[in-house]
A and B are shown apart, each in its own frame.
Chain A
Amino acid sequence: MTISKEQVQKVAALARLKLTEQEADQYTVQLNNILQFAEKLNELETEQVEPTSHVLPMANVLREDEVVPSLPREKALANAPDQQDGMFRVPAVFEE
């Protein structure tokens, strides 16, 4: 499988990245090299193999649903690039 420059631009858009033409060219070459290297995995027959998503025997960790103090608003907003009336402020979703 190879990835085209168009696909690279599409993936970038999905990942909320904006690439220059030059970056898109470069990433197309580099991602193809990496994906070509990854083709190596196809040498292995894995039809019957269970996938591993986690190495520990994981189970849901539960606790009693008790009311406990939560983060104070001013702390939660301490790193906000922009805020108003105790809320995070962002640019308009739609253009005016």
Chain B
Amino acid sequence: MSLLRESLKEIHKRLASRELSARDLAEESLRQIEQKDKEVGAFLLVDQEGAMERAAKLDEQLAAEDQRGILAALPAGIKDNLCTEGVTTTCGSRLLANYVPIYNATVVDKLNEAGAIAMGKLNMDEFAMGSSTENSAFKLTRNPWDLERVPGGSSGGSAAAVAAGEVYFALGSDTGGSIRQPAAFCGVVGLKPTYGRVSRYGLVAFASSLDQIGPLTKNVEDAAYVLQAISGLDVKDSTSADVEVPDYLSALTGEIKGLSVGVPKEMMGEGVSAGVRARVEEAIQKLEQMGATIKEVSLPHSEYAVATYYLLAPAEASSNLARYDGVRYGVRKPGKNLLDMYLETRSQGFGPEVKRRIMLGTYALSSGYYDAYYLKAQKVRTLIRQDFERIFEEVDVIVGPTAPTTAFKIGEKVDDPLTMYMNDILTIPVNLAGLPAISVPCGLADGLPVGLQVIGKAFDESTILRVAHAYEQATERLPVPPLGGIEA
């Protein structure tokens, strides 16, 4: 078995007894990437030199001190919309193909402090806009469970790299489901924290009222460790919340007796495939057997969530992406005057989905349409939030599927934006309400992973981790993905 599939406790034990070094782990990650990434395509950039340097430095520290960071020596993958000082950060866009940040995202600094070893940058839909990673300007990422299928998106590289065992864990970002949906498609754990829990400083902005950074890991315990390392107030992000960070590990008791679990009937409706519904129903039965009380609840406005999101997120994006003008950074395309240079830079630099959303957002914000679209959507957002507030007066967590189907075929949905958008129908309401949610594997349907989504109250990551962990402990783990026959 690859070192990268050992438990964190086992790795820490072997590090402590000097059987294992940070260099061993970094080398193993490089070996796995070398072996598998030609097929999987998760990485946009492998920072071999930087990773080995960090590992050597960490080994010196580990030899000198008895203390270890909680993520010591774990090889990590970083989604390519997180700024890494001195390491190209493209955001999956041609426009940023040459962008080398002069600072680290706060989460990247925090990973370094915790001792993790960043191995490189992971593929994604351009500017995190997409649900299949097919909108990357650079390459296709394939699902390790079936190389003809998408890994989900937009954090598809992050999910695929973890599933394939190329890294120990990865960071992703989630604006409308971009951590949880690829986690579900690739059979890994993905956690979107409460809005404000994790600093967004150094995350390339897509929709600032919705974006959150979070971990993708092999199991729930690892997710708790990574969340512990990256959470907390940051003076560099005024939207990061001044709310105490609890000890997430102590929440993993394996015990959910007496907990009240809400199942919204809208999340189990006709749009959900039979295979997904069957696995999720079994998971709910399991939770009941373990002593949780199951209640049917209702999110009456959830059917409006996709429409709301596809007005608000593009509106915020159109404003955020106005900065890409070819003046201060990025790839400039020449023009005969300043305006012409803007037009050429943006028209040649952005891909079709990004242009579509910029135009949709510009339209929704434009004079004469603002009230009808943008303001209307903001009001419906309130109704969606209130649905959750009402439910959380009577239950501790909400569960349902993460995505309505398992991973679809590459190319299957690229021609119809609206069909692609419907993928996020079960994850979007959570972003609109700013709540935390985790996707944990709950078995296979026709050989492909299914994700169980557990949604919690604001800043109550502890309880969703507890439920997901207890469920995971009580059920069989997924096998290692087949990866088209390559030895995993």
Check if A90 sits within 8 Å of B376, measured CB to CB.
no
Which chain A residues in 4-32 approach chain B with CB under 8 Å? Answer: 7-8, 11-12, 14-19, 23, 27, 30-31
The total of Cβ contacts below 8 Å across the A-B interface reads 163
Give the shortest distance, in Å, between A21 (CB) and chain B (any CB).
Answer: 13
> Cβ of B307 and Cβ of A78 under 8 Å apart?
no
Q: Is the CB of B382 within 8 A of A41?
A: no
* CB 8 Å contact bits of A79-96 with B (1 = contact, 0 = none): 111100000101111110
CB 8 Å contact bits of B369-381 with A (1 = contact, 0 = none): 1001101111111
Q: Would B434 and A56 count as touching, CB distance under 8 A? A: yes
Given contacts A44-B383, A79-B329, contact A53 B337 (CB under 8 A): no
Interface size for chain B: under 10, 10 to 19, 20 to 34, or 35 or more residues?
35 or more
**CB atoms of B326 and A81 under 8 A apart:** yes
- Give Cα distance in the complex from A63 to B337, angstroms: 41
Residues in chain A near residue B27, CB distance under 8 A = none
CA distance A73 to B357 in the complex (A): 34
A37-B418, A41-B380, A46-B376 given; A56·B241 CB < 8 A = yes
Counting chain B CB atoms within 10 Å of each CB, the highest count among A3, A16, A82, A90 belongs to A16
Q: Are B380 and A44 in contact (CB under 8 A)?
A: yes
Interface membership of B258, Cβ < 8 A: no
| A61 / chain B contacts, CB cutoff of 8 Å | 238
In the complex, A91→B345 CA distance in Å?
A: 13
Sample of 5 further A-B pairs with CB below 8 A, known A33-B418, A52-B382: A7-B363, A18-B347, A51-B382, A56-B239, A93-B338
In the assembled complex, 27 residue pairs joining A and B whose CB atoms fall closer than 8 Å, in A order, are A1-B372, A17-B355, A18-B344, A18-B347, A27-B355, A27-B356, A31-B356, A35-B373, A37-B310, A38-B373, A40-B304, A41-B304, A41-B308, A41-B376, A41-B377, A44-B301, A44-B304, A46-B380, A49-B383, A51-B375, A51-B378, A52-B432, A56-B434, A79-B99, A81-B326, A81-B327, A91-B341
Question: What's the nearest-Cβ distance from chain B to residue A59, in Å?
Answer: 9
Chain A residue with the shortest CB-CB distance to B310: A34
- The answer for the CA separation of A11 and B238 in the assembled complex, in Å, is 32
A67 at the interface (CB under 8 A from B): no
Measured CB to CB, the residues of A under 8 A from B are 1, 3, 7-8, 11-12, 14-19, 23, 27, 30-31, 33-35, 37-38, 40-44, 46, 49-56, 58, 61, 63, 71, 75-76, 78-82, 88, 90-95
Query: What residues of chain B lie closer than 8 Å to A31, measured between beta carbons?
Result: 356, 359-360, 363
B385 touches A52 (CB 8 A): yes
- Nearest Cβ in chain B — how far from A73, in angstroms? 12
Cβ contacts under 8 Å, B358 to chain A: 15, 17
Q: Per-position contact with A for B319-342: 1 when CB-CB < 8 Å, else 0?
A: 000100111111110111111111
> Which 9 A-B residue pairings sit nearest by Cβ, starting from the closest?
A55-B434, A51-B378, A79-B329, A81-B332, A46-B379, A61-B238, A52-B381, A49-B379, A18-B343
CB nearest to B435 among chain A residues? A55
Q: Are the CB atoms of A8 and B102 closer together than 8 Å?
A: no
Closest residue of B by beta carbon distance from A92 = B337
Across the interface, which residues of B come within 8 angstroms of A33, CB to CB? 417-418
- How close is A75's CB to chain B, nearest CB, in angstroms? 5
Decide: A50 near B382, CB < 8 A? Known: A33-B418, A55-B434, A56-B241: yes
Assuming the contacts A61-B238, A91-B337, asked whether A34 and B362 have C-beta atoms less than 8 A apart, the reply is: no
